[in-house]
């Protein structure tokens, strides 16, 4: 079985495209053989860390993120036999993750949590999850700027800036459950998301100027 190549963060998402293609191919073979348990194990090794980080960033609350990841894992296993490979497995997994996050955000208990603010132990979590050469003041300040955004905006930024998903794939991830996923519908959705992304960039630049953060050029995706 292929052993996924990890990058310095331990996630496949930012790794070489060839490594991701190998994982996708292996997942496809396992699903064709109906070896769904092995497919889920491989998917969790390959994509679990990056999806967990996205959930933590979007939800801003450890317990909500933990519950969302559990729901994501459950839906991944249940939904895998019906996955039709109309997108990459990774894109589909992100869609499940997005739906799990939004499910948690709309639960009554979640609305009582101060999810718009970072959890008290969030800075420490970032310090322990990253390597020393990545712990720069600019990165921390940029992260603080992103945490001032709404959950939907944070997810959009992470999908485009951190995970480098193409716009049509982001449109698949962000589509509502009852929204059509035809090519034309995805293109329209992608155009709307791109425009929203530009507005978020403008807002972040204004915040960066206001708070003295200069390194915002990485947003020019």
| Spatial distance between the Cα atoms of 140 and 138, rounded to a whole number of angstroms | 5
Domain-embedded: residue 161: yes
Last residue of a domain, one of 55, 83, 117: 117
Do 48 and 112 share a domain, yes or no? yes
Judgement on whether residues 91 and 53 belong to the same structural domain of the protein = yes
Range of the domain at 167: 133-221
Residue 21: which CATH number? 1.10.1740
In a domain, 5, yes or no: no
Residues 145 and 209 placed together within one structural domain of the fold: yes
Give the count of domains, the chain. 2
Residue 82 lies in a domain: yes
**Same domain, yes or no: 152 and 86:** no
Q: Kindly state whether residues 18 and 103 are assigned to the same domain.
A: yes
- Of 63, 88, 117, the position where a domain reaches its end is 117
SS (H, E, C) the chain: CCCCCCCCCCCCCCCCHHHHHHHHHHHHHHHHCCCHHHHHHHHHHHHHHHHHHHHHHHHCCHHHHHHHHHHHHHHHHHHHHHCCCCCCHHHHHHHHHHHHHHHHHCCHHHHCCCCCCCCCCHHHHHHHHCCHHHCCHHHHHHHHHHCCCCHHHHHHHHHHHHCCCCHHHHHHHHCCCCCCCCHHHHHHHHHHHHHHHHHHHHHHHHHHHHHCCCCCHHHCC
First to last CA, the chain: 34
CA dihedral (15, 73, 62, 162) in degrees, to 10, reads: 20
In-domain check, residue 156 = yes
| Tens of each residue's pLDDT in the chain, 221 residues | 444 333 323 334 445 678 889 999 999 999 999 999 999 999 999 999 999 999 998 988 889 999 999 999 999 999 999 999 999 999 999 999 999 999 998 876 544 544 444 433 444 344 444 444 344 566 677 777 888 888 889 999 999 988 899 999 999 999 887 777 888 999 999 999 999 999 998 888 888 877 776 544 544 54
Shared domain check, 83 and 57: yes
Using the 3D structure, point to which of 57, 88, 117 is the last residue of a domain: 117
Say whether both 86 and 110 belong to one domain: yes
Handedness of CA 12, 106, 120, 58 (dihedral sign): positive
């Amino acid at each position: 079985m292929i052993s996924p190549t990890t990058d310095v963060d331990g996630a496949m998402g930012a790794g070489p495209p060839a490594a991701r293609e190998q994982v996708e191919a292996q997942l496809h073979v396992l699903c064709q053989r109906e070896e769904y348990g092995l497919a889920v194990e491989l998917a969790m090794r390959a994509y679990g860390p990056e999806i967990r980080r996205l959930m933590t960033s979007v939800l801003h609350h450890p317990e909500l993120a933990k519950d969302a990841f559990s729901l994501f894992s459950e839906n991944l296993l249940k939904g895998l036999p019906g996955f039709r490979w109309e997108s990459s497995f990774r894109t589909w997994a992100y869609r499940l993750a997005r739906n799990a996050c939004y499910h948690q955000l709309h639960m009554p208990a979640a609305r009582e949590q101060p999810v718009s603010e970072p959890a008290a132990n969030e800075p420490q979590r970032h310090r322990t999850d990253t390597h020393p050469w990545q712990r720069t003041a600019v990165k921390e300040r940029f992260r603080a700027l992103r945490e001032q955004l709404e959950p939907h905006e944070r997810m959009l930024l992470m999908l485009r800036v951190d995970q480098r998903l193409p716009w049509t794939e982001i449109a698949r991830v962000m589509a509502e459950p009852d929204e059509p996923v035809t090519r034309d519908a995805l293109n329209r959705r992608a155009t709307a998301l791109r425009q929203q992304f530009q507005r978020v960039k403008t807002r972040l630049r204004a915040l960066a100027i206001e708070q003295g953060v200069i390194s915002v050029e990485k947003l020019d995706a």
